[in-house]
Structure formats: structure tokens, C-alpha cells
Amino acid sequence: PIYLDYNATTPLDPRVLEAMLPWFTEHFGNAASRTHLYGWEAEEAVVQARNQLASTLGASEKEIVFTSGATEANNLAIKGTFEARRTQGTHHYITVATEHKAVLDPFRHLEQWGADVTYLTPSPDGLISAAQIAEVLRPDTVLVSVMYAHNEIGVVQPIGEIGALCRAHGVLFHTDATQAVGKIPVDVQADAIDLLSLSAHKFYGPKGVGALYVRKGVKLTAQLDGGRHERGLRSGTLNVPGIVGLGKACQLAAQEMSTESPRLKYLRDLLEETILQQVPDTRINGHRTHRLPQVTNISFGGVDGEQLLLHLNRLAVSSGSACTSASVEPSYVLKVLGLDDALAYASLRFSLGRFTTEAEVVAAARHVQEVVARMRNQVPFA
Ligand code: PLP
């Protein structure tokens, strides 16, 4: 099938694999081994990757904590902030009802620990404004968490405005930038970000490695205790090949973004416009312009969502979020945006990437058109 599910994960770029390979075999050292060459080499490779990542974010290398991915980074940012302030009375936190589960569930945990959490509802196009946040800020608000770009609908939030608001009120600002890093420019200084999560496998790096950017001076309590790696914020032997891959993937994405981004936008628009023109009763979910260049989320009125996915057997796309696809619930994100269950079920996320071709997009649009027409006309599938 044609792979249009790059927001779920991306294949490893062969150039990234090439950079990683020696760190599995001949250079297998433990980056924490300070007494011999094996350790020094591994440490040197980690330093390089840390610099590659820091420079793409506008951060300093001392502000990077390598983790197992964005889920762990979000948990460290959110629970780690709570724990670091635990002794200082009640706490208030602000996030958005359409965040990824890897943000919402740590906040549920905080509620069990006694925190107050406000879950804001975005406008029907998926956007949240700094003004909405300003309205619910309290004197005891500790942290605001708003994702940079949405995994399901691709909406890019006004992160700079939200960051400036938080900074002005002395409130910490965390952003889950898992879907933004490598796709659009992200700058922790320009956007006044204090904590930022990312995961390498979303931008052609390996799975199981990510990072949390922690602004200098921000206090967190570690969630993994042990050998005090990563300045005590994340113990555990560093995944050197994975970290090398993350660094290389960052570097490639930064180098290629200015050509890749318009290419993907062209292909996404082609896919979207073809489907919208040729398939009646369709609508796009999420803001049309404040959006990532390579994703579209389309609802198909009057068709059964489960059947639709089943019949689209020449496409690898997702309905709702792949990360919660263990359950066959309609997307909670689309429901928050006002879609009813049936329409939320009958919505598909198409996400394009580095290896997507125009021929694939044309074939995908044709397949969607044929399948939906057959379903609506009740023509049996052979
Ligand atoms: N946050 C967002 C916005 C995501 O899209 C994902 C992945 O689906 C995650 C967090 C979790 O990333 P990982 O599974 O690599 O920890």
C-alpha cells in the first residue's frame, strides 16, 4: 500500500542509518565510561548530536536531555515540574483538550496528586489563542502546555504569542513539538519556550529516542533515578546509536526544509484539492492555513468509517491517532472540534513525507474517490 501515514512514524533515512551503524559495532562504548577510548569516542558522538539538536532549536547543548521519545519527555516536563514544586502549596496547570494522550495522561496523573488542571477547548478550527490562556491564568499557575503542531489535524498554534504571555506572567511554558521539529522552523528563544518535547522517529530518525529541551534555570525532578546521566535529569546508559541518529536526522531536516516544505505543501494541496473536487460531501478538519505543510484531515459524510478504512486497502492512512488506535473510539480530537461520532469515524488523516511522490498522491486520490463512490452507491466490493 501507499504509505501516507508519516505523522505516525517515518522510515529511517538511509543517511541516518549510515551514521548510526558504526555506533552499534566497532564504536560500542558506554558514553559514561571516562577511563578509556571506547567511552571517550561515544561521549564525543553524543556531544556532536547534542550540538546538532541544540543548534536546530536555538538552544544551548547544556539544555538538552536525551530520552526514549516524546512520551517520556512530556512525562518528565509535566510530572517533573509538579514534583519540583510539590512543597509549595496548590498548583494550577493549563493545557488543551486536543493535546496528545502523552500530554493529557500525565496531567491526569497530576490531578491525582492534587493539582488543578484547566483543559481549554480550542475553536472549531483547532486553534487556541493567547487570550484564551490569559483568561484562565491564576496567581498559582505553574505551567502552560500547548502542543506546537497537531498530530491529527496539523494545526500549528500561535506558540510565540503563548510563550510571550507565559514569560510576562512568570509561568513556565511547555510545548509538545513532536510533530513540528524537522517540519517547520522551531526556535526556543523566539518563542520563549521553557520546555520542549520531541521524538526522532517523526523526522526520519530511529524509534525509541527523543529529547526534552530544558531552559537553563528551570527546575525539574527526575522521573528515572539511577546513575545521574543527563545532569541527573534522566538516568540510564545513553542510547548512543539512537542519539547519533537523532542528531543526523535533525541536521538533514534543517538542511532540506526550505526545499522539502514547499514540495510537500504542493503534494498535500494536490491530494486535498483532488479529493475535495471529486468526492462530494467532504470537509477539511483544522485551520486551512495555520497548518503543517504535509498533512490533511478529511471527513467523508454519509460513509461508515470502519468500512472506509477497510476498503481503502491500497493506502496506509489513519483515522484518529495511531497512538491510541488500540481502541476503536472515534477521534476525541475531532469530537472536541464539534464533529459527531459518525463523522469523526469517517475522517482520515493523510500525512505525506520525504519519500512521497506525485504519482503516489495521484493514485491515492483516485483510490479514495473510487472507494467512497462505491460505498455511497452501494456497489459491492469484489
Ligand atoms: N506527542 C505527539 C504530538 C505525537 O504525535 C506523538 C507520537 O505519536 C507523541 C507525542 C509520542 O511520541 P513517542 O511515541 O515517540 O514517545
Active site residues: 323
Instruction: Return the best residue to mutate from 7, 67, 71 for the ligand 1 pocket (most ligand atoms within 8 A of CB).
Output: 71
- Burial class of residue 153 (count of CB atoms within 10 Å of its CB; 0-12, 13-18, 19+): buried
User: Which residue is closest in CA terms to ligand 1's atom 6?
Assistant: 178
pLDDT digits (tens, 9 = 90+) for 80-90: 999 999 877 77
**What is the per-residue pLDDT for 70?**
98
pTM: 0.96
- For residue 119, the CA-to-ligand 1 centroid distance in Å is 19
Which band of pLDDT confidence, cut at 50, 70 and 90, is reported for residue 211?
very high
Q: Is 100 in the pocket of ligand 1 (CB under 6 A)?
A: yes
Q: Is 9 in the pocket of ligand 1 (CB under 6 A)?
A: no
Q: Which atom of ligand 1 is nearest to the CA of 7?
A: 5
- For residue 8, the CA-to-ligand 1 centroid distance in Å is 8
pLDDT digits (tens, 9 = 90+) for 23-62: 999 999 999 999 999 999 999 999 999 999 999 999 999 9
Please tell me the distance from the alpha carbon of residue 322 to that of residue 340, in angstroms, as a whole number: 20
- For residue 146, the CA-to-ligand 1 centroid distance in Å is 14
Closest CA to 358 of 271, 254, 247, 245: 271
Instruction: Return the best residue to mutate from 75, 95, 186, 199 for the ligand 1 pocket (most ligand atoms within 8 A of CB).
Output: 199
Kindly tell me the sign of the dihedral angle through the C-alpha atoms of 199, 203, 206, 211.
negative
pLDDT digits (tens, 9 = 90+) for 150-199: 999 999 999 999 999 999 999 999 999 999 999 999 999 999 999 999 99
Q: How far is CA 8 from CA 107, 177, 230, in A?
A: 23, 14, 28
Instruction: Return the best residue to mutate from 7, 153, 184, 323 for the ligand 1 pocket (most ligand atoms within 8 A of CB).
Output: 323
Q: Which atom of ligand 1 is nearest to the CA of 74?
A: 10
Q: Is 98 in the pocket of ligand 1 (CB under 6 A)?
A: no
User: Which residue is closest in CA terms to ligand 1's atom 2?
Assistant: 178
User: Which residue is closest in CA terms to ligand 1's atom 4?
Assistant: 178
H, E, C per residue of the chain:
CEECECCCCCCCCHHHHHHHHHHCCCCCCCCCCCCCHHHHHHHHHHHHHHHHHHHHHCCCHHHEEEECCHHHHHHHHHHHHHHHCCCCCCCEEEEECCCCHHHHHHHHHHHHCCCEEEEECCCCCCCCCHHHHHHHCCCCEEEEECCCECCCCCEECCHHHHHHHHHHCCCEEEEECCCCCCCCCCCCCCCCCCEEEEEHHHHCCCCCCEEEEECCCCCCCCCCCCCCCHHHCCCCCCCHHHHHHHHHHHHHHHHHHHHHHHHHHHHHHHHHHHHHHHCCCEEECCCCCCECCCEEEEEECCCCHHHHHHHCCCEECECCCHHHCCCCCCCHHHHHCCCCHHHHHCEEEEECCCCCCHHHHHHHHHHHHHHHHHHHCCCCCC
- For residue 105, the CA-to-ligand 1 centroid distance in Å is 13
User: What value, to the nearest 5°, has the Cα angle with vertex 235 and ends 32 and 89?
Assistant: 145
**What is the per-residue pLDDT for 321?**
46
For 2-16, 132-146, 308-322, which range has the lowest pLDDT when averaged over its residues? 308-322
Which comes out higher in pLDDT, residue 89 or 257? 257
Which band of pLDDT confidence, cut at 50, 70 and 90, is reported for residue 323?
very low
Q: Is 67 in the pocket of ligand 1 (CB under 6 A)?
A: no
Q: Which atom of ligand 1 is nearest to the CA of 321?
A: 8
Judged against a pLDDT cut of 90, whether residue 381 lies above it is answered with: no
Closest CA to 122 of 334, 328, 336, 374: 336
Q: Is 69 in the pocket of ligand 1 (CB under 6 A)?
A: yes
- For residue 308, the CA-to-ligand 1 centroid distance in Å is 25
Domain ranges of the chain: 2-6+257-376, 14-252
Phi, psi of 246 (to 5 degrees): -60, -45
> What is the CATH code of the structural domain delimited by 14-252?
3.40.640.10
- Calculate the average pLDDT of the chain: 95
Please tell me the distance from the alpha carbon of residue 16 to that of residue 204, in angstroms, as a whole number: 8
Judged against a pLDDT cut of 50, whether residue 322 lies above it is answered with: no
pLDDT digits (tens, 9 = 90+) for 330-354: 899 999 999 999 999 999 999 999 9
Q: Are 224 and 80 in contact (CB under 8 A)?
A: no
Kindly tell me the sign of the dihedral angle through the C-alpha atoms of 243, 185, 335, 94.
positive
- Mean pLDDT to the nearest integer, 70-79: 98
Q: Is 175 in the pocket of ligand 1 (CB under 6 A)?
A: no
pLDDT digits (tens, 9 = 90+) for 103-144: 999 999 999 999 999 999 999 999 999 999 999 999 999 999
What is the CATH T-level fold of the domain 2-6+257-376, as seen in this structure?
A: Aspartate Aminotransferase, domain 1 (3.90.1150)
